[in-house]
């Protein structure tokens, strides 16, 4: 009888301890990496922050795969020599044109520099989600399946820049391209 009670207790404890982990795994579509933003070096934190800013200001209310796609295009641009850093790619201007339009707009630019001052509680929650996605993309870039199919450019579906580029995919409200 004591052995049976001990066995039941062990099984119940195992179930109780495992439930939060399985619940998290079911809710999260981004795999848990075990890497925390606060564990990064200062330079890696800055890169992730620039990537999070770009994801937030370009695709804050897009589906998760759209946010990942924006992160991947940013990383693809680093890999293809647009600049040697994520922050450089995000802030890059060619002639007087920002490559990511939000960077040229004063209010979003200020918000990226002082998030606590400019973002309300709802926006801060969305930003933290963008930061989680940025960390995921930054840390796993080389191993991710690129849902943009190598895109280096994208635009919202309500504009028509008449690019002579190969369309790769549409995700959410963005259309992605590569040369």
pLDDT in tens, 89-146: 999 988 888 899 888 887 666 666 667 777 889 988 999 999 999 999 999 999 999 9
Same domain, 71 and 1: no
Same domain, 90 and 18: no
CA angle 173, 35, 26 (to 5 degrees): 60
Same domain, 70 and 154: yes
Same domain, 20 and 46: no
Domains in the chain, number:
2
**Is it the case that residue 81 has pLDDT exceeding 90?**
yes
Same domain, 46 and 134: yes
First to last CA, the chain: 72
Q: How confident is the model at residue 24 (pLDDT cuts 50, 70, 90)?
A: very low
Same domain, 27 and 39: no
Q: How confident is the model at residue 14 (pLDDT cuts 50, 70, 90)?
A: very low
Same domain, 46 and 116: yes
Query: Which conformational region is residue 24 in: left (phi greater than 0), alpha (psi within -120 to 50 degrees), or beta?
Result: alpha
Q: How confident is the model at residue 20 (pLDDT cuts 50, 70, 90)?
A: very low
User: pTM to 2 decimals?
Assistant: 0.78
Structural domain that includes position 60: 35-178
């Amino acid at each position: 009888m004591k052995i049976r009670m001990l066995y039941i207790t062990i099984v119940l404890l195992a179930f109780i301890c495992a439930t939060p982990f399985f619940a998290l795994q079911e809710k999260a579509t981004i795999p848990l990496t075990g890497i925390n933003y606060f564990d990064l070096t200062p330079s890696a934190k800055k890169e992730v922050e620039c990537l999070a800013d770009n994801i937030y200001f370009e695709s804050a209310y897009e589906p998760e795969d759209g946010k990942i796609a924006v992160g991947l295009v940013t990383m693809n641009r680093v890999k293809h020599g647009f600049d040697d850093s994520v922050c450089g790619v995000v802030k890059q201007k060619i002639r007087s044109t920002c490559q990511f339009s939000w960077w040229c707009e004063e209010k979003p630019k200020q918000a990226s520099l002082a998030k606590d001052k400019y973002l309300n509680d709802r926006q801060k929650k969305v930003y933290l989600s963008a930061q989680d996605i940025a960390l995921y993309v930054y840390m796993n870039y080389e191993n991710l399946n690129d849902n943009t199919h190598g895109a280096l450019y994208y635009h919202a579906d309500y504009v028509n820049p008449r690019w002579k580029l190969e369309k790769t995919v549409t995700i959410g409200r963005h259309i992605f391209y590569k040369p």
